[in-house]
């Protein structure tokens, strides 16, 4: 694998951390329409403490397993892809699929009502 200079390495870390932080903050609005977001967060949403969707919910019971600052299945799946790329130095769709499957039957338990059912 070719050398990666310090600037590019820093940018790669920024993309990964930015995605995870954005995912964690975005959880507060996941599956909401723009008007629902405005109603739920009339002053906007810019801190984890503002997220109100960790309350018991009949229709989305899986949300109860998250705490402010946790990321979602989106970041878990990105990490599966990155682990595969680091190990194989190329895109290996079978390895990525295996990692997704392993994630879904182990750590992905909280999303069984959604993406976890696909596996």
Distance CA 96, CA 29 (A): 28
For residue 110, what pLDDT band results from cuts at 50, 70 and 90?
Answer: low
Q: What is the DSSP letter of 29?
A: G
pLDDT recorded at residue 59: 53
pLDDT score recorded for residue 96 = 97
What is the pLDDT, as a whole number, of residue 83? 96
pLDDT beyond 80 at 58: no
Query: Across residues 29-34, what is the average pLDDT?
Result: 86
Residue 1 lies in a domain: no
Residue 17 pLDDT exceeds 80: yes
Distance CA(4)–CA(57), nearest Å, equals 46
Residue 26 in tokens: 């975005």
Give the CA angle between residues 34, 41, 75 to the nearest 5°: 70
Residues of the domain holding 48: 6-118
* Residue 90 within any structural domain of the chain: yes
Q: Is residue 28 part of a domain?
A: yes
Residue 108 lies in a domain: yes
CA-based nearest residue to 82, from 63, 66, 103: 103
Position 88 in a domain:
yes
For residue 59, tell me if it sits in a domain: yes
Q: Whole-model pTM? A: 0.71
Find out whether 80 and 98 touch, Cβ atoms under 8 Å: no
How many structural domains does the chain have? 1
- The average pLDDT across 42-64 equals 68
């Amino acid at each position: 694998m070719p050398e990666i200079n310090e600037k590019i390495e820093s940018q790669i870390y920024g993309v990964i951390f930015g995605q995870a932080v954005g995912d964690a903050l975005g959880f507060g609005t996941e599956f909401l329409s723009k008007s629902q977001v405005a109603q739920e967060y009339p002053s906007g949403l810019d801190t984890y403490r503002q997220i109100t969707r960790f309350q018991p919910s009949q229709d989305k019971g899986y949300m109860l397993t998250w705490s402010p600052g946790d990321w979602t299945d989106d970041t878990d799946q990105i990490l599966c892809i990155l682990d595969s790329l680091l190990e194989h130095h190329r895109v290996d769709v079978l390895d990525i699929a295996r990692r997704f499957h392993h994630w879904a039957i182990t750590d992905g338990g909280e999303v069984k009502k959604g993406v976890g059912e696909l596996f």
